[in-house]
């Protein structure tokens, strides 16, 4: 039996109980991810579907979970096949799966379409993940059609299709001890990667070597894989100099020069869970005065966001705390002119900070780097207020932001990105800074699980000195 099979069985039982409460006599169909062709006969590296994995812990492709509201669990998986296993690796197979994964029964996936009508027949509702799997609804409809063809013999056809993600998103939003343990370890590995990249950048420049963004990307990957991470949780951003002002920049071939800042946004995935860290550091280990001034401002805004991340607060509170600090700071350092934009309150109300800070301060983190979970408080979805966006003039409907609870995990990632523009002091041109940590909500506040990598400017300089 898989070591954690009880954990997944418990999650399936929770899902079944929710299905029974919301729609008695219902059935859920949840496939893992599709394999994707990269070119000719090479596929992209397979990565399971997060919902499927959350309920099974099973990582093989071509697998489906079927679950009834009474808690009956069926797995469809790849049949044993010696020839395929010689080429692609061992398959668990339907004979071993029930015992190994604590399921009631398992069938070869080749029988799924034939069995689907029988599974759907006489059920009131069919649940599946909406808009996540190409052609899934079409495949379920083929099954439903086959049931409909039998209604004249007394069969009942499900009358409703419902999105199972709604239930699963709320379950996944609160992480259990097993998940938090993996996330802590993922965060520690990622922190080591960042430390290694910082130190290599300074050491290579000191040695007079050519440093490229891809060199630092390689250092991250080295550390991730050395410590058992399967792959990066998302495409690593390694941005030297002005490239840091491109929010979704990829590690490329640009040279990294002494005097540049380097922004690295990278985190490993470990056993299905993401980490997500950004650090910005001076390539040669010493901040210039202008870099340091903006760095300290971003860090102060992160401190304010961290203080606002506690149970009972709203998801939006850390963002608002960040913006309050940045708004005042942008006036203080001269990036915004108070004669033009007014007070810090005006900067906030008119979103004048948006020129330099154009993203939100965080997102849920879990199996997916931008993890699932509604950002609206479920008990208040009906409370809607309207306002006009001061920049676009667009009418925005606001709903109360989600209330934070212990066990939720989110990122706290303020930044400043200064593109050359009229009125922008030259000494700040092309500075891009983001500082990102991963926070677990605790009983009284939050725990930053990514702080094995230093964040204070002095500590970063000390780390990069003389290595
Ligand atoms: N690395 C993606 C993000 O920070 O949201
Ligand atoms: Mn992030
Ligand atoms: Mn990130």
pLDDT tens-digit readout, 292-313: 999 999 999 999 999 999 999 9
- Chain segment 379-400, per-residue pLDDT in tens: 999 999 999 999 999 999 999 9
pTM for the predicted model, two decimal places: 0.97
Which residues make up the CATH 3.40.350.10 domain(s) of the chain?
5-171
Q: 380-385, long-range: CB within 8 Å, 24+ apart, which pairs?
A: none
Cβ atoms within 10 Å, residue 360: 16
pLDDT of residue 355 exceeding 70:
yes
pLDDT of residue 466 exceeding 90:
no
Which residues make up the CATH 3.90.230.10 domain(s) of the chain?
174-465
Token reading at 429 = 């041109």
Query: What confidence score (pLDDT) does residue 424 get?
Result: 97
Averaged over 223-250, what is the pLDDT?
A: 97
Kindly give the distance from the C-alpha atom of residue 248 to the centroid of ligand 1, in angstroms, as a whole number: 9
6 flagged as catalytic: no
Query: What confidence score (pLDDT) does residue 423 get?
Result: 94
Nearby residues for ligand 2 (ion, Cβ within 5 Å):
276, 411
Q: Is 276 in the pocket of ligand 1 (CB under 6 A)?
A: yes
User: Which CA distances in Å does 274 have to 50, 85, 185, 224, 429?
Assistant: 11, 29, 10, 12, 33
Query: What confidence score (pLDDT) does residue 251 get?
Result: 84
248 flagged as catalytic: yes
- Chain segment 1-40, per-residue pLDDT in tens: 667 999 999 999 999 999 999 999 999 999 999 999 999 9
pLDDT of residue 137 exceeding 70:
yes
Closest CA to 438 of 206, 190, 260, 139: 190
- Residue carrying the six token digits 């020839």: 83
Please tell me the distance from the alpha carbon of residue 467 to that of residue 464, in angstroms, as a whole number: 6
Kindly give the distance from the C-alpha atom of residue 262 to the centroid of ligand 2, in angstroms, as a whole number: 17
pLDDT of residue 146 exceeding 70:
yes
pLDDT of residue 179 exceeding 80:
yes
359 flagged as catalytic: yes
Query: What confidence score (pLDDT) does residue 77 get?
Result: 98
Q: Please answer whether residues 370 and 364 qualify as being in contact, where contact means their C-beta atoms are separated by less than 8 angstroms.
A: yes
CA trace torsion 365, 366, 370, 373 (10° rounding): -90
Q: Please answer whether residues 270 and 229 qualify as being in contact, where contact means their C-beta atoms are separated by less than 8 angstroms.
A: yes
Q: What architecture is domain 174-465? A: Alpha-Beta Complex (3.90)
Q: Is 369 in the pocket of ligand 1 (CB under 6 A)?
A: yes
5-171 in CATH: which number?
3.40.350.10
Q: Whose C-alpha lies nearest to ligand 1, atom 4?
A: 276
Averaged over 126-139, what is the pLDDT?
A: 95
**Taking every pair of C-alpha atoms in the chain, what is the biggest distance, in angstroms?**
82
Kindly give the distance from the C-alpha atom of residue 369 to the centroid of ligand 2, in angstroms, as a whole number: 7
Query: What confidence score (pLDDT) does residue 182 get?
Result: 98
Alpha helical stretches, state H, 23-175: 50-56, 82-88, 93-101, 112-120, 136-148, 165-173
pLDDT of residue 467 exceeding 90:
no
Query: What confidence score (pLDDT) does residue 1 get?
Result: 61
CA 278 to ligand 1: nearest atom: 4
Query: What confidence score (pLDDT) does residue 3 get?
Result: 75
Query: What confidence score (pLDDT) does residue 230 get?
Result: 98
pLDDT-derived band of residue 80, with 50, 70 and 90 as boundaries? very high
436 flagged as catalytic: yes
Pocket of ligand 1, candidates 187, 413, 450: which has the most ligand atoms within 8 Å of its Cβ, to mutate?
413
C-alpha gyration radius of the chain: 25
Kindly give the distance from the C-alpha atom of residue 365 to the centroid of ligand 1, in angstroms, as a whole number: 10
- Residue carrying the six token digits 């606001």: 398
3-state SS, residue 77: strand
């Amino acid at each position: 039996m898989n070591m954690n099979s009880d954990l997944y069985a418990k999650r399936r039982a929770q899902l079944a109980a929710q299905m029974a409460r919301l729609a008695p006599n219902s059935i859920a169909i949840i496939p893992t991810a599709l394999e994707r062709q990269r070119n000719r006969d090479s596929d992209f590296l397979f990565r399971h579907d997060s919902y499927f994995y959350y309920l099974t812990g099973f990582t093989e492709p071509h697998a489906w979970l079927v679950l009834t509201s009474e808690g009956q669990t069926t797995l469809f998986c790849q049949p044993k096949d010696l020839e395929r296993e010689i080429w692609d690796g061992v398959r668990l197979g339907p004979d071993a799966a029930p015992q190994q994964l604590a399921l009631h029964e398992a069938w070869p996936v080749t029988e799924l379409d034939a069995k689907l009508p029988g599974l759907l027949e006489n059920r009131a509702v069919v649940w599946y993940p909406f808009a996540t799997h190409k052609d899934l609804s079409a495949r379920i409809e083929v099954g439903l059609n086959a049931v409909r063809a039998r209604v004249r013999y007394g069969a009942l056809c499900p009358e409703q299709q419902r999105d199972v993600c709604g239930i699963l998103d709320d379950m996944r939003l609160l992480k259990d001890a097993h998940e938090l343990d993996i996330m802590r370890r993922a965060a520690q590995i990622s922190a080591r990667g960042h430390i290694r990249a910082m130190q290599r950048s300074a050491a290579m420049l000191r040695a007079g070597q050519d440093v490229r963004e891809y060199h630092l990307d390689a250092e991250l990957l080295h550390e991730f894989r050395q410590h058992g991470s399967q792959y990066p949780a998302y495409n690593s951003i390694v941005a030297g100099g002005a490239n840091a002002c491109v929010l979704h920049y990829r590690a490329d071939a640009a040279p990294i020069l002494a005097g540049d800042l380097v922004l690295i946004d990278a985190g490993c995935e470990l056993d299905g869970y993401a980490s997500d860290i950004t650090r910005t550091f001076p390539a040669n280990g010493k901040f210039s005065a202008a870099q340091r001034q903006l760095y300290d401002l971003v860090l102060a805004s992160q401190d304010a966001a961290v203080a606002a991340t506690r149970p009972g607060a709203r998801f939006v509170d850390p963002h608002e705390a960040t913006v309050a600090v940045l708004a005042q700071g942008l006036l203080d350092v001269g990036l915004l002119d108070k004669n033009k934009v007014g007070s810090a309150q005006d900067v906030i109300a008119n979103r004048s900070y948006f020129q330099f800070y154009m993203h939100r301060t965080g997102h849920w983190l879990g199996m997916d780097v931008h993890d699932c979970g509604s950002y609206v408080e479920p008990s208040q979805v009906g409370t809607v207020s309207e306002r006009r966006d001061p920049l676009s003039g667009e009418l925005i409907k606001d709903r109360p932001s989600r209330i934070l609870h212990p066990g939720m995990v989110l990122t706290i990632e303020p930044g400043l990105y200064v593109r050359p523009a009229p009125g922008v002091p030259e000494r700040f041109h092309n500075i891009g800074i983001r500082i990102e940590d991963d926070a677990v909500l605790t009983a009284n506040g939050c725990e930053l699980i990514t702080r094995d990598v230093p964040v204070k400017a002095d500590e970063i300089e000390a780390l990069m000195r003389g290595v």
